[in-house]
Amino acid sequence: MRRKAYLLALALSIITTSFAQTTFLPLNTENYHLLDRLETRSGKLCDSLSLWDRPEARRNAVNFLETVKEKNNNTALKPWLSKVDRYNVDQMISENGEWAPKDEETIDSRRPWLKFFYKKQYNLIHIKTHDFLLDNNFFLVVNPVLNGVAMYQQNSPTPPANVKSTRLYSGRGAELRGWIGKRVGFYTSITDNQEQYPYFVENWIKKNNKLTAVPGADNYKNVKQGNFDYMQATGYINFDVVKNHLGVTFGRGKHFIGDGISSLFLTDNAANMTFLQLQARIWKLNYECLYVELAPQFNTMTKDTIMSHKYSTIHYLNINTFKWLSIGLFEAEVFSRPNYYEWSYLNPIIFTTALNRANGSGDKSILGMSFKAIAAKHVQIYGQLLFNEFRYQELISSKKWYGNKYGFQLGFKYFDALTVKNLDLQGEVDAVRPYTYSSQDTMANFTHYNQPLADPIGAGFIKVIGQVKYNPIRNLYLSLRGTFYVQGVDTAGRNYGNTIFNNYTTADHIYGVTWINGPRGTCQLINMNISYQLRRNLFFDLGCTYRKYMVAGNAYPAYSTTGPVTGPLTTNYVYFGLRLNCARRDYDFF
């Protein structure tokens, strides 16, 4: 009891002596594309902006955008922002106006509701007070979160009669963010969702080890006629221990480490997780230490059950070595201890892989390197290199040892392509060897709530992604994305290293393991989307998707997305919907 009191007193003392805090931009919004685009078009990497480590702080984003505006308005230089860019910059600064140098940059509404609601153009409730007891500052924003999508699908072969062609998705909730005395920042969001998935996603949920989880979320209930009912809850508190240099965030949510469409390190495709995050920014160095609580894999969940947990410590160090080049180092340890966090992994300094050896090498260690380079103010090249385990002698031999577990990513972005304003192209290749994210047991694999923490298709694959984004006029966003991947499949009870939930100790063979190990599965996926912003953060979406999945020799594994059929499955669907204060829900990731 005394120890808890000491810890509480320490936490309160840190908070009361902390400096200004911030909240973070929601993941998967157009804001990140705008920041990425403007950083490259500026011709220089921003030392205070860390787009490779998302979510990004609103404070950093606004400071960067203010700098971009100032440089663009400098009469000694030729303006380089397009009219659409200037509009997007002003809108984003207004949306995050609590960090703008002038309060008037937060745009007032022309017609507030009942003189209280929507006083500011983008916020249902916007409160900013000056109070001596609250250190002259209290800030609060409250907004509704709404999402509704209608979909019509066709599948070949025809699915069972109980699989309807019309699919519906609805979500509703609220979010709020703010600060107290500019010392403690807070954010929370909760939504209640009812979702009917495309046929291949529904099969993935039901067949893949009885997941009891939906893509990107956790437990669901009340499955009736393909309707999945689940909740999403995110929240955190944040404060600076050392102003503008060391920040602390505690909460529950998602993270993404990388510059690509996907990531070999950590993605936001899995469920929310409880985390403690330390972020340090010194000179050209950006460093993150992330402690997370994860759910190990399970087959079914019974009512009134307390789940067991596993844990991970993740470090990522990034340095802008030149104004055009950044280099990063990544490491992650995944481990399971009965009801406690391994003390040695609380070390906030990178290279704790050595501690795994000291602990007996029974935990999952992942190491990685990354880079990002910009050229000619239009092109960005990025990549990742991942290592789990390898032996040099085996690596240079021709035996193709199964224990050589590694992967790579290489991609590019071309902004204002072919001199067309706001036309942006991106291409990416991702490849991961079999068994890379697996473990020697079912606890320490690189997963959370029965979903991969990195690329959602697991391991043993080669994937190519191409993407076009075009913002021709204000509030109109066009996108086209094509994905093709080849992956081996685990079938007939044999472990070829593609399903990362399987223990690598049950590998089918030790030598002769190729990138595509086992029967060859292929997937072609194309999505076209049109989004129009009716007002800030209120979007109308219209799009269509084509997906074809097949496995050579009809060797379909039990976890495949093809349902009861034993041949190729082709899915086509069109959709339209409205969403407010949330990102678009899509299914083109596996």
Q: How many CB atoms lie within 10 A of CB 534?
A: 11
Residue 376, C-beta contacts closer than 8 angstroms, at least 6 positions apart: none
Low pLDDT (below 50) residues in the chain: 1-18, 134, 209
- The tokens describing 141, both together, are 């924003």
What's the confidence (pLDDT) of residue 358? 55
- The tokens describing 27, both together, are 């993941």
Q: Kindly give the pairing relationship between strand 184-196 and strand 461-470.
A: unpaired
Q: Which burial class, exposed, middle or buried, applies to 141 when counting CB atoms under 10 A from its CB (0-12, 13-18, 19+)? A: buried
Instruction: For residues 463 and 486, give the distance between their C-alpha atoms in angstroms, rounded to a whole number.
Output: 6
Q: What angle do CA 587, 588, 590 make, to 5 degrees?
A: 95
Instruction: Find out whether 537 and 245 touch, Cβ atoms under 8 Å.
Output: no
The helix or strand, by DSSP H or E, that contains position 32, with its residue range, turns out to be helix 30-42
What's the confidence (pLDDT) of residue 589? 76
- For residue 55, whether the previous peptide bond is cis, meaning omega lies within 30 degrees of 0, is yes
What's the confidence (pLDDT) of residue 8? 39
Instruction: For residues 32 and 53, give the distance between their C-alpha atoms in angstroms, rounded to a whole number.
Output: 11
Place of tokens 């309707």: 227
What's the confidence (pLDDT) of residue 356? 54
SS3 498: coil
Instruction: Find out whether 552 and 523 touch, Cβ atoms under 8 Å.
Output: no
Closest to 163 in 3D by CA, of 511, 552, 573: 573
Q: What angle do CA 301, 149, 166 make, to 5 degrees?
A: 80
For 62-183, strand residue ranges (E) read 125-129, 138-156, 166-180
* CATH number 3.30.70.20 is the correct assignment for the domain at 2-580: no
- Please give the C-alpha separations between residue 246 and each of 63, 221, 342, in angstroms, as whole numbers: 17, 41, 24
What residue type is assigned to position 397 of the chain?
S
- The tokens describing 67, both together, are 């700098």
Q: What is the DSSP string of 46-67?
A: -TT--TTEESPBHHHHHHHHHH
SS3 551: strand
Q: Kindly give the pairing relationship between strand 447-448 and strand 451-452.
A: antiparallel
Instruction: For residues 223 and 226, give the distance between their C-alpha atoms in angstroms, rounded to a whole number.
Output: 6
Q: Which burial class, exposed, middle or buried, applies to 456 when counting CB atoms under 10 A from its CB (0-12, 13-18, 19+)? A: middle
Q: What angle do CA 99, 103, 107 make, to 5 degrees?
A: 100
- The tokens describing 340, both together, are 């406690």
Q: What is the DSSP string of 420-450?
A: -TTEEEEEEEEEE-TTTT--SSSSSSSEETT
What's the confidence (pLDDT) of residue 386? 96
Instruction: For residues 397 and 522, give the distance between their C-alpha atoms in angstroms, rounded to a whole number.
Output: 29
What's the confidence (pLDDT) of residue 1? 38
SS3 575: strand
* pTM greater than 0.75: yes
For the CA atoms of the chain, what is the radius of gyration? 24
Place of tokens 């685990």: 490
